[in-house]
Structure 1
Amino acid sequence: MLEILIMLIVAFKMLIGDKAKFLGLIFGIFLSSFLICQQSAIFLGLVERSYRLITDIPTPEIWVMDPGTEHIDKIREMSDSQIDKVRSVPGILWAAPLSMTYLPLKLSNGLFHEAQVVAIDQNSLLGAPQHMVKGVVESLRHEGGIILDQHAVQKALVTDGADGKPSYLKLGDSLEVADQYVVVVGIAQLTLGFYPQPIMYMAYQQYKNLTPFKNRHLGFILARVQPGENVEKVVQHIKDQTGLSAFTREGFKWRSIWYFLGTGVLINFGTTVLSGFLLGIAIVGIMFYMLTIDSLPFFAMLRALGATPLTIAQMIYFQALVAGIIGFGLGLGAATLAGQMIILSQGTIAFLFPPLILLLAAFTIVSINLLAARICIRRVLKEDPKIVMSK
């Protein structure tokens, strides 16, 4: 045991002997870890936002839509008569309308924004925001009432006051939406969408009044099954009886994810993560190999003194482990710090760092280091100690 400990200490001193090469090795692992962790977290954050409306509306078990609807941002609207058809399906407890569109919003200073409008049933208020910061959702029943998302109120919808200081929207303020005035009756904490537009909730009837030019207004039908009914069977009944598309909450979430992944975003972020992997192989492989070449005389001396190939392999694997832990720890810490700064800044950049990313990054770095160590072990064991020492 003591001999192994001594050999590991020798291996560590050999690793840090050339400070420049050692720091270069650590930097390579750090950069690779940082890119893999950060870019993967941003990508997963964007994926989560692709189904944010489903996340913010947890009550319905079934989402019903026109067969031409592919995503919550790509809706083919239906006529209101479809609601009664869904309600008549056996096993349905209730069904409520919900729609989503984009309408122009004009601020008091004359600036325009394109707001994402979510229209919900004014009677049941199904689909209303779950986390109100100011006001109550029941105020949506008031004529012209709207609820805005907190992020937009604090960022995009801020205007300059008469004294030159920032002026924030508050309850009772008026806005112009689609050339008609509405009143802020609530501010809610919502999951940000994939696009950074302000999010606005209003009553379904008010939405119809704001868009009289549309023949159809209904985007989705939210439904819940009666107690004891099988959700999957009711979904199939809806499809067969109405001809509409119907999904469970989880099914619609995955449909939204697959649609999002088909937009090319996956390729962009995947390329960056792959670049981090290849960068790690290049830098770590080269720097670790150079350190090993510089240490060939020491390895030759150890072999001449009786060190077995297994001992040499253990020393090199130990060096790879130490470098990997230091570099990966720094990269993980930097990515986590960057993520916290993104979250605290309340910006539009998405960031989601589940344990899966940690495992993925750790597996990648371990693979890179083991590959580099394996190559170096073969190089060391290939050399004849007598020839190396004679040089």
Structure 2
Amino acid sequence: MKRGGILRLAYKLLVNDSGKFSALLVGLTFAVFLMVQMTSIFAGILSRASATVSNIGAEVWIMDPAVNTVANTIPLPDYLLGAVRSLPGVRYAVPLYAGGALVKLGDGAYQAVSVIGLDDTSLFGRPQLEQGSIADLYADDAFVVVRDAEFGKLGHPVVGSEFQINDRRAVVAGIARVAAGGLFGVPTLYTTYSRARQYIPSSRSTISYILVAPQSPAALAAIQQQVRQLGYLALSKRQFIQRISDFYKYQTGVGTNILLMTVISFIVGLSISGQTFYSFILENLEKFGALKAIGAKGHELVGMILFQAVFTALTGYGLGLGLCTLLIAAAKWRLPDYAAQLTFGNLALAFGMVLVIAAISSYIGIRKVLRIEPFDIFRG
């Protein structure tokens, strides 16, 4: 028999049993939806957890070895900045302050914020301003507010708006935007390093991180080794982001819970599709036996079942992915701080799991069809 005719026949057998076909699609769509949704939420969490690293954009970050996330800083001694600047291969090094504070708004309400203090001389890592001038950050009491999902918690301030930080006057000198919003649901303020030290009570050491620009990419390894000899840790931007991701994956319950939900989604899809596809094969066993009796080869029957399984799996994958995309878009429209995001890794993982479901389901059907003898069908 011609391959095109075999595949058309397989398609008609599949869709003519609308009940079984619909059940297969619903099971696979639901499984794909859950798998993509769970992994997208996790990807969004990881992206936002390292938002400060991405937004600042420094090539090398120097920190205490105990630091696992950018939010949990351990102060560095002031002498370390001078020591790093003197290392061979370092083009320049600047301090960065990262901490939290409590803002008192004009209506008397209090709001927790994240404060980033940039090097006074270079303002390295400054965000892109939508309103105001970055030079205004040198004015008295000046802060830049980031317009992100948490912007409204500060009462939608404008340039010139005033609030208080630890009973000290603060003025909005600019409104900025950044590439990625934070994870913990608090607004972000930028100011100079010296002003952050003045406004926010801290320990004797106030440097959260030292940001380094190496003279060349080849100098990174030497810088890391020399910083390690000083008792501290130097990580590239990519390494720091990976360190943060590993912390949330392996040292918190977030990664475990997401993994369990993804595995459960896979098992649900596999059980529904496997059982339904097996039932479909049983109900059409006579038709497969008749095809075998009129000369259909074993590999042609196998091709029919593989086509049916793959066609159903890909259709369910597309429907599940579309449903998940619509839900994420709707959620972000209504909830701007919703963290989920689709990545190629999420899509590839879900696609691979769908193919596994299709392979196992088709294997169950293939074993049953290849064992059938035409004589048994006609005798029945």
Shorter chain as denominator, the TM-score bin is over 0.9
Is residue 134 of structure 1 aligned with residue 122 of structure 2?
Answer: no
Deviations 1:230-265 (A, max 9, x none): 12112222332x332222222222222222222121
Q: How does 1:107-122 map to 2 (within 5 A)?
A: 107-122=105-120
Q: Deviations over 1:189-222 (max 9, x none)?
A: 1211221111111111111111345322111111
Say if 1:37 and 1:358, in contact at 8 Å, map to a contact too. yes
Q: State the AA in 2 paired with 1:38.
A: Q
Q: 1:184 to 1:372 in 2, by over 3 A?
A: same
**Selected match of 1:155 from 139, 152, 156:** 152
Which residue of 1 is the match for residue 359 of structure 2? Answer: 370
Which of 367, 370, 375 is 1:381 aligned to?
370
2:173 matched to 1:185?
yes
2:186 & 2:112 partners in 1: Cα distance? 6
Tell me: CA distance 1:374–1:155, structure 2 relative to 1, closer, same or farther (3 Å).
same
Distance 1:247 1:153, change over 3 A: closer
SS in 2 for 1:330: helix
Q: Secondary structure at the match of 1:151?
A: coil
Post-superposition shift, 1:146? 0.8
SS at match of 1:155: helix
Q: What do the CA deviations read for 1:91-141 (whole angstroms, capped 9, x no partner)?
A: 322211101111111222222221111111122101211x22212222221
Contact persistence 1:99–1:218 (CA under 8 A): yes
Question: How many residue pairs end up in the alignment?
Answer: 378
Residues 22, 228 of structure 1: alpha-carbon distance in 2 compared, 3 angstrom cutoff: closer
Equivalent runs, 1:137-286 vs 2, <5 Å:
137-152=134-149, 154-158=151-155, 168-190=156-178, 191-212=180-201, 214-226=203-215, 230-240=219-229, 242-261=230-249, 262-286=251-275
Alpha-carbon shift at residue 150 of structure 1 (Å): 0.5
For residue 147 of structure 1, report the CA deviation from its aligned partner. 1.1
Q: Please give the alpha-carbon distance, in whole angstroms, between the structure 2 residues aligned to 1:251 and 1:110.
A: 42
| Aligned 8 A contact 1:232 1:248 in 2 | no
Task: Report percent identity of matched pairs.
Answer: 28
- Three-state SS of the structure 1 residue aligned to 2:121 is coil
Q: Do the aligned partners of 1:62 and 1:235 also contact (CA within 8 Å) in 2?
A: no
**Contact between 2:52 and 2:70, CA under 8 Å: does it hold in 1?**
yes
- Which residue of structure 2 aligns with residue 81 of structure 1? 79
Check whether the contact 1:342–1:351 (CA below 8 A) recurs between aligned residues. Answer: no
Which of 319, 339, 342 aligns to 1:330? It is: 319
Deviation track 1:354-376 (CA, whole Å, cap 9, x = no partner) reads 32322222221111111111111
- Distance in 1 (CA, whole Å) between partners of 2:279 and 2:76 is 67
Give 2:28's aligned amino acid: I
State the alpha-carbon separation in 2 of the partners of residues 169 and 152 from structure 1.
Answer: 14
TM-score (norm 1): 0.91
Gaps of 5+ in 2: none
Where in structure 1 are there 5+ consecutive unaligned residues? 159-167
Equivalents in 1 of 2:43, 2:258: separation in Å? 10
Aligned to 1:165: none
What is the CA-CA distance between 1:156 and the residue it aligns to? 2.3
The 2-side partners of 1:69 and 1:318 are apart by: 52
Contact 1:125–1:138 (CA under 8 A) maintained in structure 2: no
Letter in 1 for 2:146: D
How many angstroms does 1:328 deviate by?
A: 1.2
